[in-house]
Structure 1
Amino acid sequence: MKINRDDRVLVIAGKDKGRTGTVLNVDRQTGRVTVSGINIVKKTVRRSQQNPQGGIIDVERPIHISNVMRVDEENGVARRQGSEGSGRDKQRVFKQHSGRPIGASEE
């Protein structure tokens, strides 16, 4: 997967289409990402010692990774990415439109 924690992403499908946010968590097994300020749902919470009032709270829920696209840090535009390499150790993620490496994978 090409999306990592703290990446800035654009939502390209769903009810929050067109909004941007920062990735808080990536679940690689289910293929879902949690993005700040995106896919907020209301959840009812029972009374407990930690929350003596209970009530309704807003919670960020994960969305499928195919519904987000990384935003290019240089110009702030969401662009497609490519990857190449034969193994996990030799994997290189790059900007598909220019061929330059992205983020920590830069050589």
Structure 2
Amino acid sequence: MTDNLDDYPKGPGYRRNCEASRDGAKAAAPAKQTQEAVLLSLATKAGNKGVTYQEASDAVGDAIRPDVVRARLSSLMKAGKLVKLNARRMGGYRVNISPYVLPQFAPKVDSPQGDLLS
């Protein structure tokens, strides 16, 4: 079985030169695809409102640890399957957090380079 460890975001990420981190990534690799499918489904259901990592974590309960939810959302974003919105809303611990949405719900950017090249 190939573990795709060195092919982030296809495989789970890990800290280079850290054997414990690599071992953790190997253990996480088999569940990664299923976990991402669950989180993509939540984002799809949320539509243009999006889903924060805390909302996703609450929705899946004990099925996926909260730190893993964050990691999977990050890898989905890196793969271009989710976009993090600039808008923020209140999360736990009285901290504003950004929701993730499917790319089609992300606001269009008229000038992505901020007119730096003109």
Greater radius of gyration (CA): 1
- Which of the pair is proportionally richer in strand? 1
Q: TM-score range by the shorter chain?
A: under 0.3
- Name the structure, 1 or 2, with higher relative contact order (CA <8 Å, separation 6+): 2
TM value normalised by structure 2? 0.25
- Which of the pair is proportionally richer in helix? 2
TM value normalised by structure 1? 0.26
